[in-house]
Structure 1
Amino acid sequence: MTERIHLGKRVPEIYQAMAKLQAEVEKAAANAGVEQKLLELVKMRASQINHCAFCLDMHSHDAVQQGESPRRLYVLEGWRETELFNEQERAALALTEAMTNVATLHDVPDDVYDEATRVFDEAQYRAVAWEIIAINSWNRMCVTSHAPLPERAE
C-alpha cells in the first residue's frame, strides 16, 4: 500500500477544529437524550460503507466498552434483516446510509427523512444528522491518509 501524507494530527489547527466539532456533536446528542451507543452504531455503519478500517476498529472498540453487544456489531451491515435494533436505531441507520450515499442517491429519500423525524424530536434529529456528517468527515480523512490501526492489546 502506498504511504500517504497524513492529514490528521499533522495539521493541528484543522484536526483540533474537527475534534471540537465532534465534541459539540456529542454534547448536543447528550443534551437531546440520544444515547452514545446509538451514535456508535451510526459511526460504525458509515465507516462500513466508507471502508474505513481505522474508524471501524476505533468505534467497535468504543461501542463494546459502552456495553454494546458484539453480536449486534457482527450483524450491523445486515441490520434490516434482524429485529436486534430498535425503532430509533433503525431510523438512524437508514438515515446514515442515505446521508453517506448522498452522492449516489442525490438526496435523502422522503421515507427515510419522515421515519427519522417521526422517531426523533427535532434536537435529536439534528444531533444524529450532525454525527453522520462528522463521521463521514473523519472517514474521508482516515481513508485518504491510509491511517494505520493503533496497537491494541487483544
Structure 2
Amino acid sequence: MTARTQVLDRAVGQAMSAVSAAAKRGLGDPALAELVVIRASQLNHCAFCLDMHLAVARGLGVSERQLDLLAAWEEAEDAFDERERAALALTEAITVLTDGFVPDEVYEKAAKHFDEARLAHLIALVVAINNWNRVMVSRRVPPGGYTP
C-alpha cells in the first residue's frame, strides 16, 4: 500500500472543511457530532479519520465506554441515549445506501429527536464525513498525521 501524498486541491479541501464545520456548528452538539463521524469512519474503514476524530472526541470528554462500544451501538443500549441512537441509525443508513434510500422509519425516528434545522445539519455532517472518508481512503492517507 502506497500513500498518495497530495490529498486535495486547496480550494476543494477548504470547501469540504467549511461544509464539515458548518454542519457541526448547526448540529449544536460537538460530542454527538464526533460519535457520528467516528461511526461513519468505522463503516468506511478510514484509519486517518478514525485516528483524528477519536482524539477530538476524547478531548471533548466523550466517554471511553461510548467510544469502545460505538461499533456495536445497537447492542449497547445503556451506553447511548435515544437521541444518539437515532443519529447513529441515520448515519448508518446514509453511509451504507444498500437499498438506494434511507428507510422511512430511520428518518422518522431521527426527526423525532432533531428539529428540522438540526436534522438537516446532521444529514450534512454525515454526507461531509463520507466525503472525507472517501478522499482519505482513496488517497491511502495513513493515520497519525492529525494533531489537535
Q: TM-score, normalised by structure 1?
A: 0.89
1:72 is the counterpart of 2:66? yes
Please state how far the C-alpha of 1:86 moved relative to its aligned partner: 0.6
Asked whether 1:86 is paired with 2:84, we answer: no
Which residue pairs with 1:61 in the alignment? 55
The alignment covers a number of residue pairs equal to: 146
4+ residue runs of structure 1 moved beyond 4 angstroms? none
CA contact (8 A) 2:38 2:49 kept: yes
Identity %: 45
Q: Would the aligned equivalents of 1:98 and 1:105 in 2 still touch at CA under 8 Å?
A: no
Cα distance 1:44–1:152, how it changes in 2: closer, same or farther (>3 A)?
A: closer
**CA–CA distance in 1 between the matches of 2:25 and 2:62?**
20
Q: Higher relative CO (CA 8 A, sep ≥ 6), structure 1 or 2?
A: 2
Alignment RMSD: 1.5
TM-score, structure 2 normalization:
0.92
- Which structure 2 segments of 5+ residues have no match? none
Separation in 2, partners of 1:36, 1:27: 8
Separation of aligned partners in 1, 2:132 and 2:37:
10
1:2-151 map, 5 Å: 2-4=2-4, 6-8=6-8, 11-30=9-28, 35-82=29-76, 83-102=78-97, 104-150=98-144
Tell whether the 8 Å contact from 1:54 to 1:147 is kept in structure 2 after alignment.
yes
**Gapped runs of 5+ residues in structure 1?**
none
The alpha carbon displacement at 1:140 in A equals 0.5
Distance between the aligned counterparts of 1:129 and 1:7, measured in 2? 24
